[in-house]
Amino acid sequence: MSAAETKQKKWTLLELLNWTAEYLAKKGFEDARLNVERLLGYTLGLSRIQLYTNFDRPLLPDEISAFKALLQRRLTHEPLQYILGETEFYSLAFKISTDVLIPRPETEVLVEHIVETCTHSFAKEEEIFILDVGTGSGCIAVALAKNVANAVVTAIDCSPGALSVAQGNASAHDVEIKFHELDALKPWPMEFLNTFDLLVSNPPYISYSEYQTLQPEIRLFEPKTSLLGGNDGLEFYRKFSNICSTLLKPQGFVFFEIGERQAVSVRNIFADAGFSGFQVYDDLNGRNRVVKMQWSRSKE
């Protein structure tokens, strides 16, 4: 079909869906049909099921223009989640913007193991003081506050934009989380010292060389401060390793998300800083993505 014919054509929902899905697929986009369904559903205010039951519905010119504007954004490789302004994490809806990293499935694995530790290593009536370092959208902090009844959650980030997104998500899910704008690698205020039973972080851990190879969706749109961990990706862990123990109570737990080849290096960095009891967990693809450890050195 020529460009002029495409413009003049009176489209039904199914015709536009099929045509655009084929167009996106030819341009090399993965999950082309799913992308188009989400964008069209968003434009028309229809769920996926409603789309399927309205295949014959003719589309108005305004609806087509609005859909085209979203499609143009996707064609620049802007991630679907930023266009829709939301995503799902741990079965909860999260608002997101380009100020925050899009929550990932491997981070759900991190949350799952923390929930398990909270259930098995603490008494039900005991308050568990949890610190989320680099909270971004607040996905980890909110998921923990929702799923660990006795959790008292504090979350920090150095990005004011991220904190405002995280605060919005905490309010939307009706959980109380104390948020602070702080640089985790600078000296922490006294009130945080020796305070936490469990510290979690999904820090920036991508090396410069790996960053260059990432898909445009990530490189062009996601915040660099969320991703880049220096020359070898380990800079945050290295700098944070000695600070980390000052925030914990004795025997406090630490959970980190890591890059798939970083388990040994992260273990060595934190063993040098006095941590022990290392455990490594895999994501659903069998890759090492989560480390758990404990602060074991007694404090003078």
Ligand X SMILES: C[S@@+](CC[C@H](N)C(=O)[O-])C[C@H]1O[C@@H](n2cnc3c(N)ncnc32)[C@H](O)[C@@H]1O
3-state secondary structure of 257: strand
- Mention every residue, 6+ apart, whose C-beta is less than 8 A from residue 18: none
Q: How far, in Å, CA of 251 to CA of 293, rounded?
A: 9
Tell me if 106 sits within 8 A of 163, measured CB to CB: no
Please report whether residue 203 would count as binding ligand X according to CB under 6 A.
Answer: yes
Closest to ligand X by CB, 79 vs 204, is: 204
90: left (phi over 0), alpha (psi -120 to 50) or beta: left
Q: How far, in Å, CA of 259 to CA of 273, rounded?
A: 20
Q: Using the rule CB under 6 A, which residue among 14, 172, 185, 280 binds ligand X?
A: 185
Dig out the tokens for 244 from the structure. Answer: 């980390």
Please report whether residue 181 would count as binding ligand X according to CB under 6 A.
Answer: no
Closest to ligand X by CB, 37 vs 157, is: 157
Q: Using the rule CB under 6 A, which residue among 20, 43, 87, 107 binds ligand X?
A: 107
Sketch the per residue contact string, 222 through 261, with ligand X: x for CB under 6 A, - otherwise.
---xx-----------------------------------
Closest to ligand X by CB, 184 vs 273, is: 184
Cβ 166 to ligand X, closest distance in Å? Answer: 8
Residues touching ligand X: how many (CB under 6 A)? 23
Cβ 155 to ligand X, closest distance in Å? Answer: 8
Q: Using the rule CB under 6 A, which residue among 70, 101, 177, 273 binds ligand X?
A: 101
Residues within window 120-159 making contact with ligand X, judged by CB under 6 A: 134-137, 139-140, 156-159
The piece of 21-29, 77-85, 123-131, 199-207 that touches ligand X (CB under 6 A) is 199-207
Please report whether residue 167 would count as binding ligand X according to CB under 6 A.
Answer: no
Q: Give the C-alpha distances (Å, rounded to integers) separating 184 from 129, 155, 167, 205, 270.
A: 17, 11, 18, 15, 16
Q: Using the rule CB under 6 A, which residue among 148, 184, 199, 266 binds ligand X?
A: 184
Tell me if 111 sits within 8 A of 143, measured CB to CB: yes
Closest to ligand X by CB, 13 vs 163, is: 163
Please report whether residue 291 would count as binding ligand X according to CB under 6 A.
Answer: no
Q: How far, in Å, CA of 122 to CA of 106, rounded?
A: 24
Cβ 220 to ligand X, closest distance in Å? Answer: 17
Q: How many CA atoms lie within 13 A of 255 on its CB side?
A: 26
Report the Cα–Cα distance between both ends of the chain, in Å, rounded. 77
Q: How far, in Å, CA of 211 to CA of 235, rounded?
A: 14
Give the burial class of 104: count Cβ atoms within 10 A of its Cβ; 0-12 exposed, 13-18 middle, 19 or more buried.
middle
Cβ 125 to ligand X, closest distance in Å? Answer: 28
Closest to ligand X by CB, 73 vs 239, is: 239
Q: Which residues bind ligand X (CB under 6 A)?
A: 100-101, 103, 107, 134-137, 139-140, 156-159, 162, 183-185, 202-204, 225-226
